[in-house]
Structure formats: C-alpha cells, structure tokens
C-alpha cells in the first residue's frame, strides 16, 4: 500500500493503546504499527528533554541517547490530499493480518498470493480495501466483493505474533499439493466453534474451536518466531507452540512504559531557558552558531541577556548527559527526587512547567496531614521501551515451564531513540504526617490487617506463578495511601467535573527506605496542550474547598451500595484478589488512573464502615 495519511491517533493513545506492535482497526482491514527501524528519524525529529527519564530508559536500553516525540503531521495538512505537506508524515504501518477471505465465495488466502486486489481511494484513504476481482459469485452487479480480514491470529509467550497457520491446521501437518481453503461460519455468535475451514483440493475440513482447547495446545504448530512490527523472524527462534487469539483481544498488546513528573533540578534560569528552546539549540555545535541565531531573531528575549559562551556551555552540559555511554547497574529511583521537591519547605518553584503553591491544611486535618500543596503547573513525560503479549511485563504464565513474560523490543537493529510523550496539567499533593502514620501502623489491629494483606499478596502471586511470591509487598502504609487516593479521585470527579479516567495518581510510600520515609499522594490531570488544563483540580485543593471535599469524602465512603458485602470483605486467602472493603461502587477506578490495577485497596482504613471502625486512620489520633 502506498504511504498515505489514513487516520489520526493522539500521542497519549500511542503510549498506552496503539503503540509499536499494536493493531489498529480500519474500516476494511487492520494494520500493525511498525518498529523504529521504519520511522523517519533525523535531526529535525522533535526531541523531548527529560534527563531523569532518559537515565531510567538507559537502564533497560543502554544505547538510548534521545527521547523523541512520535511524528506528527503539521496543522496545515489537508486530510485526503495525497499532495499535502503532511501526507507522508506519521507512523508507518503495515497490513496485518495478511490472510483474508472473500465475503461472497469464502475463499481464504493471504493477500501476498495476489488473488485479492487493493483498491485505493486517494481522496478518502479510509475507504481503501481489498477486493476479490475474479470472484465467481460476484453477481449481476459485476462489482467485486470485499475481502475481509480473518479475525484469528497466532501468538506465543515470547511476544511473537503471526497469521494463524491455516494450511497446517486444516491438514494437520499432512501435505497437500495444491491447498485451496474456504472459510465458513455457522450462526451469529462469531465464536471459534462456529468456524470451519475446508480445503477444496483434498476435501479435508476442520473446526477452529479445536485450536482453542487447552488439551490440544501441544498438537498445534510451533511458533516460527515472527515479529510483524519488524517484518522479521526472531534470530533465536522459538520453541513455543502457538496460541490462537481473536483479533482485537485486550491481551494482544501491553505497553511497557516509564514515566516521571518533570521537576526542576537546576536553580539557574539559564538552564531552564536552554531546555525550553532545545528544539533549535540542539543543532548548535559552535559558539558562532549562536551569533547566527541572534541575527535571525531566533533567541528569546531572556536568552539574549546571556552571553554566547554561557549558553554554549549549558548546551554542551546537556549534550554530555544525553550522549553519555555509561551503563547503569541499578535502576534509577524516579519517585524520591519528586518527593524531595514536593516536600521541600525552603524553596519556591515557579518555572514554566512546574509551579508549587503551598496552602494551609484545614485545622481539622492537621493531626493527619502535614502539607497541602497546589501544583499549579506540572509536566509528565512518558517513554515507551517495549511491549508484551498475553500478559503484563514480568509475570510468569506457565508454571510448569516457568515461562516469563519478556519485553518485546521496538527495533531490529541497534537503536538510540525511543518514543516519548509529554503532557501538562495541574495537581494536588498531600503529605501525610509521618508521626501519625507510624502511630497508626503500631496499632495491633493494623498489624493484623497488614498480615492479612501480605497473605493475600503472596497467594495472589502464587496463583499467577510469580517466581518469588513474597517479594514486592508494599505494606499497609501503601494500602492506606492508595485507598485514600482512590476515594479522593472519585470525590474530585464529582466536585470539579473532571472524569475519573482523566485523573491519575502517584503514590509516594516508604517506611524503611534508607533515603527516608515517604507518605503522600499526588493526584493530577493533564492534557497534551501546551497550556495544560483548566485549573479545576487546583481550585478544589484550596483550604476551604479541601475541607468540604474531605467532609464529603468521609461521608460518602462510609457506605457503599454493595454493603454489607463490600464492607465485610477481607483480603482473599485463595489468591483471587488483593483488596478488602473495595468494589466498583466505591473505590475501584479506571486502569488509566490506578498505578496498581485496583489492588491493595481497603476503605475501612480511611473511614468507619458498617462492619468495623477500628482501622480508620483518620480516627486513630483521638486517643493519642
């Protein structure tokens, strides 16, 4: 297919829904987003400067040097005009799956065989389609019927994905000299058991439902190690048997991303200005280049006040960090620097992308909350470093074989650029009182609740075949902060109008960390617009509004429409869940908002419920 503009996705969708290796449905077929080898990356590609995130990316990808924004068509681009400036700008994609069947005669064949012809519509490229020109059943209208992509694919635990091996499956590895397949469906359910594929040459036929039965897994063909986003076969091969999967299934693609809140690490205004104008300063290789920019009027007024030598020195410092080849042996800590900045009482941050405004904590909450900060401006930067299929990164999905879900690379050859995205917005930071937290943690009932959560944590990880089920337990402190975060997100949504799905959380929790304890949450909302969001979240964080907000939160969380079942729920000992008094009617939030997949939640830790009142943190200081 010719390279034409066929649609739009938002940068945030690229990071979390339609990134490299994912499938995108078009009206007449599906496409897969190609790997970085097929991107047009040059010195004009928009780069994103965030050194903390780049260092984290280097831990996984030692050759990483730059973070780049996904290619974006200019605003002047005219959709449907193949001669427009942005017609060839965007994400490269390839048609996948390659196997299609005729909607009339049911002929099943790959498009590479040439039996289906591509019909292009340059004015409306979304109408591009494949047709069976020589279909014997096209009827009196003589209009060729459309070819429909088969909705069944083959994947494996190593992240490979391929067209389903129709010929091998139907013939069960018995050779056929001239296979000619036809695709038949019975009923309207669309289930695999209603699909039958028949070979017209030898007469063999087989139902697809057999492929989805676990007992037949070992009888399916071996995976050939194909990565369609790289258009290449894995050089190490693959020893797994394929797994059939439905096109569009939610476990086809899981992104592996890293994200940080951009915080000022330099107090010098010059460093901030250079980073803000990095898009054109990145090409400065000598001091005389700055003279040219001055004559062209490119430098901003504030930059004009600094000497060329000082500007050039800062440029070289930033380039030195970006181009460093040091191999990291320890994963960088992304949250501690943010915590230190948000809790620093000695500094006032007022930069273009980061503005803090501390406000008074309501008197009724001072025993529990130490600091309340309005984050009037913030910038979140995310980087995509890979993806997985079938399950999320790091889990074990075959206990007998101890097969671990590994990260699938975004490129075939050595690569130094990784896609990233930045969004700007606003937030509320709440620092809990450390003495109050420690006093509450020492209560015997809280200690027993922590044991219950630990057993649930271990059982859940055992049931999901994690290698070390006891590891990575966040502790009861995290459960408290996480539950409070979800409750506050829901209440903020009701009060300021932002949908819950647009509010995100960042939990800062540590009790025995050598860098010091942490107990706080940051709730924020952001948008890709350079000006961020509208300020509604910050407004609700002001002292008088926050006090009313908390009053409504405690009243609302005390009762749930699923009580008494919800309130009486304890952490599961069978490994089914890792939450207590929580459900979709009270604490659960969309996946885009929660950093733990709605695990480690218990509203009895933040308010009195109809079942118990002895765990409530916000009532623990009365007898202190």
**Cα angle 93-96-97, degrees, rounded to a multiple of 5:** 175
Instruction: Give the model's pLDDT for residue 339.
Output: 92
The β-bridge relationship of strands 417-432 and 66-68 is parallel
Rg (CA), the chain: 28
In the predicted structure, residue 396 carries a pLDDT above the cut 50: no
Which residue segment(s) compose the domain that 496 sits in? 434-500+530-619
Instruction: Give the model's pLDDT for residue 550.
Output: 94
Q: What is the DSSP letter of 36?
A: G
Neighbour order of strands in the sheet with 243-246? 161-163, 152-155, 243-246
Better pLDDT: 196 or 622 = 196
User: Which range has the worst mean pLDDT, 117-126, 231-240, 362-371, 575-584?
Assistant: 117-126
In the predicted structure, residue 178 carries a pLDDT above the cut 60: yes
In the predicted structure, residue 142 carries a pLDDT above the cut 90: no
Q: Is residue 483 one of the residues assigned to a domain?
A: yes
pTM metric for this prediction? 0.81
Mean pLDDT of 158-162: 91
Q: Is residue 536 one of the residues assigned to a domain?
A: yes
Q: What is the DSSP letter of 361?
A: P
Instruction: Give the model's pLDDT for residue 268.
Output: 62
Which band of pLDDT confidence, cut at 50, 70 and 90, is reported for residue 395? Answer: very low
Q: Is residue 46 one of the residues assigned to a domain?
A: no
Q: Which residue has the tokens 């930069």?
A: 351
Which tens digits make up the pLDDT trace of 405-448? 578 899 988 788 899 998 888 999 999 999 999 999 999 999 99
Q: What is the dihedral of CA 204, 209, 214, 216, to 10 degrees?
A: -10
Alpha carbon distances (Å) from 512 to 368, 480, 611? 20, 16, 31
* Sequence-distant (≥ 6) Cβ neighbours of residue 419 within 8 angstroms: 14, 15, 19, 20, 36, 67, 68, 69, 70, 383, 384, 410
Which tens digits make up the pLDDT trace of 291-346? 787 777 777 766 777 787 888 888 777 777 666 666 666 777 888 889 988 998 87
List, as one string, the DSSP characters of 388-409: ESSS-TT-EEETTTTEE-PPBP
In the predicted structure, residue 399 carries a pLDDT above the cut 50: no
Which band of pLDDT confidence, cut at 50, 70 and 90, is reported for residue 96? Answer: very high
Which band of pLDDT confidence, cut at 50, 70 and 90, is reported for residue 250? Answer: confident
In the predicted structure, residue 532 carries a pLDDT above the cut 60: no
Instruction: Give the model's pLDDT for residue 400.
Output: 32
Rounded to an integer, what distance in angstroms lies between the CA atom of residue 192 and that of residue 186? 10
Q: At what angle do helices 308-322 and 269-276 cross, to 10 degrees?
A: 70
Which tens digits make up the pLDDT trace of 537-594? 899 999 999 999 999 999 999 999 999 999 999 998 888 889 999 999 999 998 878 8
User: Which range has the worst mean pLDDT, 136-145, 259-268, 569-578?
Assistant: 259-268
Q: Is residue 586 one of the residues assigned to a domain?
A: yes
Rounded to an integer, what distance in angstroms lies between the CA atom of residue 147 and that of residue 130? 5
The β-bridge relationship of strands 369-388 and 254-261 is antiparallel
Show the tokens assigned to 619. Answer: 């009532």
Q: Is residue 138 one of the residues assigned to a domain?
A: no
Rounded to an integer, what distance in angstroms lies between the CA atom of residue 450 and that of residue 159? 36
Instruction: Give the model's pLDDT for residue 418.
Output: 92
Rounded to an integer, what distance in angstroms lies between the CA atom of residue 115 and that of residue 133? 8
Alpha carbon distances (Å) from 615 to 126, 412, 448, 450, 567? 57, 53, 10, 11, 12
Q: What secondary structure, in 3-state letters, does 96-133 show?
A: CCCEEEECCCCEEEEHHHCCCEEECCCCCHHHCEEECC
Alpha carbon distances (Å) from 17 to 234, 435, 598? 24, 42, 19
Number of domains within the chain: 1
Q: Is residue 571 one of the residues assigned to a domain?
A: yes
Instruction: Give the model's pLDDT for residue 430.
Output: 97
Q: Is residue 322 one of the residues assigned to a domain?
A: no
**Cα angle 90-96-100, degrees, rounded to a multiple of 5:** 140
Q: Is residue 343 one of the residues assigned to a domain?
A: no
User: Which range has the worst mean pLDDT, 384-393, 476-485, 548-557, 595-604?
Assistant: 384-393
Instruction: Give the model's pLDDT for residue 535.
Output: 66
């Amino acid at each position: 297919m010719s390279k034409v503009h066929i649609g739009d996705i938002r940068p945030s969708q690229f990071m979390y829904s339609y990134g490299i290796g994912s499938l995108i449905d078009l009206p007449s077929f599906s496409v897969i987003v190609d790997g970085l080898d097929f991107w047009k990356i040059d010195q004009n590609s928009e780069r994103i400067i965030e050194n903390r995130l780049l260092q984290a990316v280097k831990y996984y990808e030692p050759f990483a040097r730059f973070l780049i924004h996904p290619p974006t068509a200019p605003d002047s681009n005219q959709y449907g005009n193949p001669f427009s400036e942005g017609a060839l700008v965007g994400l490269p994609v390839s048609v996948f799956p390659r196997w299609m069947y005729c909607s009339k005669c049911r002929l099943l064949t790959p498009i590479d065989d040439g039996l289906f012809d591509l019909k292009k519509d340059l004015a409306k490229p979304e109408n591009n389609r494949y047709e069976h020109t020589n279909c014997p059943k096209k009827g009196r209208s003589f209009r060729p019927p459309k070819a429909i992509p088969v909705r069944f694919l083959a994947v494996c635990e190593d992240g490979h994905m391929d067209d389903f091996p129709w010929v091998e499956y139907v013939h069960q590895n018995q050779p056929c000299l001239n296979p000619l397949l036809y695709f038949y469906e019975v009923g309207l359910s669309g289930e695999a058991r209603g699909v039958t594929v028949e070979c017209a040459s030898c007469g063999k036929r087989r139902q697809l439902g057999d492929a989805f039965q676990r007992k037949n897994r070992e009888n399916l063909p071996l995976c050939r190690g194909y990565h369609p986003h790289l258009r290449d076969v894995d050089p190490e091969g693959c020893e797994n048997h394929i797994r059939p999967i439905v096109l569009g299934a939610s476990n086809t693609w899981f992104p592996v991303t890293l994200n940080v809140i951009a915080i000022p690490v330099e107090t010098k205004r010059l460093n901030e200005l250079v980073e803000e104008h990095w898009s054109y300063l990145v090409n400065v290789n000598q001091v005389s280049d700055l003279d040219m920019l001055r004559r062209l009027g490119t430098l901003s007024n504030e930059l004009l006040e600094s000497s060329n030598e000082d500007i050039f020195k800062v440029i070289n410092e930033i380039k030195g960090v970006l181009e460093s080849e040091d191999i990291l042996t320890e994963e960088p800590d992304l949250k501690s620097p943010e915590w230190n900045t948000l809790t620093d009482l000695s500094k006032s941050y007022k930069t273009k992308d980061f503005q803090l405004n501390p406000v008074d904590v309501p008197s009724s909450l001072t025993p529990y909350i130490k600091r309340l900060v309005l984050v009037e401006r913030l910038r979140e930067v995310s980087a995509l470093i890979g993806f997985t299929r079938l399950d999320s990164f790091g889990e074990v999905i075959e206990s007998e074989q101890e097969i671990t879900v590994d990260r699938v690379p975004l490129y075939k050859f050595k690569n130094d650029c990784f896609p990233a995205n930045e969004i700007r917005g606003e937030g509320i930071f709440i620092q809990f009182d450390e003495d109050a937290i420690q006093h509450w943690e020492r209560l015997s009932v809280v200690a027993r609740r922590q044991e219950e959560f630990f057993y649930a944590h271990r059982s859940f990880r055992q049931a999901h075949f994690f290698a070390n089920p006891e590891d990575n337990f966040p502790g009861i402190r995290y459960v408290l902060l996480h539950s409070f975060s979800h409750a506050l997100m829901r209440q903020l949504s009701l009060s300021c109008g932002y949908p819950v799905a647009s509010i995100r959380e960042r939990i800062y929790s540590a009790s025995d960390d050598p860098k010091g304890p942490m107990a706080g949450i940051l709730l924020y909302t952001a948008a890709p617009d350079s000006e961020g969001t509208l300020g509604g979240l910050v407004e609700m964080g002001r002292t008088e509004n926050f006090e009313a907000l908390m009053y409504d939160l405690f009243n609302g969380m005390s009762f749930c429409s699923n009580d008494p079942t919800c309130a009486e729920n304890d952490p599961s000992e069978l490994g089914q869940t890792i939450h207590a008094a929580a459900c979709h009617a009270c604490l659960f939030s969309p996946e885009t908002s929660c950093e733990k997949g709605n695990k480690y939640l218990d509203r009895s830790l933040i308010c009195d419920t109809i079942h118990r009142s002895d765990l409530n943190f916000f009532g623990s200081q009365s007898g202190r």
